[in-house]
Structure 1
Amino acid sequence: MSNPFGTIPDEAILEGTATDAYFDRTRSTLEYAGKNPHVVAEVTADQFPTGSFDVFTGVRDVATLFEGRAVDVDALPDGHLFDGGPVMRIEGPYLEFAELETSLLGFLSQPSGFATAALESRLAAPESTVLSFGARHVHPSIAATVERAALLAGLDGFSHVAAGEILDREAGGTMPHALMFCFGEGNQAEAWETYDEAVAADVPRIALVDTFWDEKSESLLAAETLGDDLDGVRIDTTGSRRGDFRHIIREVRWELDARGYEDVDIFCSGGIGPDSMRELRDVADGFGVGSHITSADSVDFSLDIVEIEGEPISKRGKLSGVKQVYRTAAGGHHVVLADREAPADATALLEPLVRDGELVREFDLDEASERCLADAEAVSFGDQNI
């Protein structure tokens, strides 16, 4: 069976059949009429700056989509933040890209939502280790998309093995409750010892400590069992049984410190999001964040023709004419017609991506992550999410 999980194959995306039916009918109609106008189209979420910023990503996949097609594409840099105006511009004969709109918007909308939520998490606990644990909440075919978005937003790592192979990064993680169950209550020490013996030496020894007994008791047992080899403990207590989670963590910290285990870190997971991270970041050393990232709303991008055969045009509610967007040194985001004067002390953000079907930009995830975090500081992204 060539497609056992029913996912859309790469060929369908590249050929344009991964599209909405009305684009097929549009092509048929225009070809029948002998029309194929030269257009400029822009991708936007909001027409004017709103002051509420999102992270822009997915642009590398869009570049791949347009390779070999007779169009020019400009776009914001990967990882840049925006709050209105175009994030991408496409120019060329309309039928060169008409049926690509559906995939194009999908490549941008969902990853940008993931990255924005991941950035919220990153800035909620800037001094903590923060890992992406959300791949289990999405279709496996897009796990690498989730994990790349998390890394772009500055998270320290992720858990998905196959995504790591795609991204050329090592997946991380500790142990599940299933492992503890397999050894059974009363045999926690044996489980941790066996894990320590079986797993590669470069894997941090983080013991899961909330399976059968209370968190304090299992944490102390883990420390006594593994001694100096124990790097940390992970508390994944179900929300319905947490009570005062902050107090639980402080109690575990106190008891570990009282017995000389000050170097054992405490990691928290299970329904963790920015609000709980801000509450716990002074008592916990790290967090695993899952559903906050994967349940993020997609950014509501749309693609609209704004110029046809050199003349500005738009639907009602949209802004006609080719535009440029700018960032000032003070962090301001400005939308201006492309043939007008730029704001003072401003940098144009729409940069060449594809020229006549040829990719003219390189992509580096580390650079994109640095850009994302620097731009978040420039526009005070963390302040808007507190």
Structure 2
Amino acid sequence: MRAATDEYLFDPPRVVSDMTTPFGTIPAEAILEGDATDAYFERTHTTLESAGKNPDVVAEITADQFPTGEFEVWTGIEDVATLLEGRNVDVDALPDGQLFDGGPVLRIEGPYLEFAELETSLLGFLSQPSGFATAALEARVAGPDSLVLSFGARHVHPSITATVERAALLAGLDGFSHVAAGDVLDREPGGTMPHALMFCFGEGNQAEAWQAFDEAVPVDVPRIALIDTFWDEVSEGLLAAETLGDRLDGVRIDTTSSRRGDFRHIVREVRWELDARGYEDVDVFCSGGIGPDAIRTLRDVADGFGVGSYITDAPSVDFSLDIVEVEGEPVSKRGKLSGTKQVYRTPDGGHHVALADRDGPEGGDPLLEPLIRNGEVVREFDLEAASERCLADAETVGFDE
């Protein structure tokens, strides 16, 4: 290991003398201008310009070269279109919300220096949102008839909360909790009360807290009482039902795994005791470390779920961008496949990769479609349509079966 006084193995760290945004985030201008990049792309640009080289290339973004049997959700493409708009390139890509399993998800054709320094941002726009959406789809298919909400905004930097919530909606979740993300996405956030509200009223005053909430919030906000703060869930659940009567829409159990015990038994007991006293219309919601396995275990006894860290902790999809053709000639690095490709969905849900100038599989629909032509975006983006596509394709390919 080099001593602290030795020369740096690479380059000395860049000293940033001034933060251009109050929370240390990268400004949009830096992304659009190509400054949000890895340093070696800047040096590649300098080198090629100095050498007078700027070949026409075909570059493809892939996660796996061949199908693996593990489908993932493709999203983030709208941001990619914004980044590449106005540049001298043609781009083809999968539709937003499409599931993929090997082969290219996006293709760029044009002079290399048109997009060389954008690679870092391009992959970032795609990798993390696709991971969020894939995890959210796993939660969705685990409880197809349940209300499933995204509660994960607190686990990520506030600057990307709209990205998380959009991915959740695309995967078919019913809503989310983050207010500012709702402004970005033009959706109303959901959510009722935290434990902090209950603490502010104190033990023994749970009924007063629920009554105050009922009197204060708009009538269109569901009355969902949090019932695991001070006493056992059954006791607080029955007290909430007695306190709010017909105005109570549901109860929420947010019991942490550290004391949960048999969570299914707790939920069943709450449901039983509510039903026994005539509160069959009061729904039971669960949150706190919920993922697909918990949803499958509880979906017959609970009505809805809040899913947080399972989505936000999802691994990013490991996309890479590789040149596969230079000046019309196929090329590739070791371990990658050369040549311009197309991917297909067959009626039985198969995912196929083939060279673009060859015939595809019988009955297969090509999935890479025009996104940009001569720098102009030629595709419209619609979240509802993307969500419908995602759920339909998940059924076609048997996602997470």
Task: Give the TM-score category using the shorter length.
Answer: over 0.9
Structure 2 counterparts to residues 182-261 of structure 1, below 5 A? 182-261=200-279
- What is the rounded CA distance, in whole Å, between the counterparts of 1:223 and 1:382 in structure 2? 38
Matched, 1:34 2:52: yes
Gaps of 5+ in 1: none
- What is the rounded CA distance, in whole Å, between the counterparts of 1:260 and 1:41 in structure 2? 63
- What is the rounded CA distance, in whole Å, between the counterparts of 1:317 and 1:325 in structure 2? 19
Q: CA deviation at 1:240?
A: 1.2
Structure 2 residue aligned with 1:93: 111
What amino acid sits opposite 2:110 in the alignment? G
Q: CA deviation at 1:76?
A: 0.2
> In structure 1, which of residues 177, 190, 202 is the aligned counterpart of residue 195 of structure 2?
177
Relative to the length of structure 1, the TM-score reads 0.99
In the comparison of the two structures, how many residue pairs are matched?
Answer: 383
> In structure 2, which of residues 177, 184, 187 is the aligned counterpart of residue 159 of structure 1?
177
Q: CA deviation at 1:382?
A: 2.7
- What is the rounded CA distance, in whole Å, between the counterparts of 1:264 and 1:162 in structure 2? 30
Relative to the length of structure 2, the TM-score reads 0.95
What amino acid sits opposite 2:344 in the alignment? Y
Q: CA deviation at 1:329?
A: 0.8
- What is the rounded CA distance, in whole Å, between the counterparts of 1:70 and 1:346 in structure 2? 31
Structure 2 residue aligned with 1:373: 391
> In structure 2, which of residues 29, 32, 37 is the aligned counterpart of residue 19 of structure 1?
37
Deviation digits for residues 311-360 of structure 1, max 9, x if unmatched?
00000000000000000111111000000012110100000001111110
- What is the rounded CA distance, in whole Å, between the counterparts of 1:163 and 1:51 in structure 2? 33
Cα RMSD (Å): 0.6
Structure 2 counterparts to residues 26-65 of structure 1, below 5 A? 26-65=44-83
| Residue aligned with 1:266, SS | strand
Deviation digits for residues 217-264 of structure 1, max 9, x if unmatched?
000000000000000000001111111110000100010001100000
Structure 2 residue aligned with 1:334: 352
Is the deviation greater in 260-269 or in 2-11? 2-11
Percent identical: 82
Structure 1 residue aligned with 2:3: none
Where does structure 1 differ by over 2 angstroms across 4 or more consecutive aligned residues?
A: none
> In structure 1, which of residues 321, 332, 348 is the aligned counterpart of residue 366 of structure 2?
348
Q: CA deviation at 1:181?
A: 0.4
Gaps of 5+ in 2: 1-18
Residues 20 and 27 in structure 2, CA contact (< 8 A), matched pair in contact too: no
Matched, 1:359 2:377: yes
Q: CA deviation at 1:2?
A: 4.8
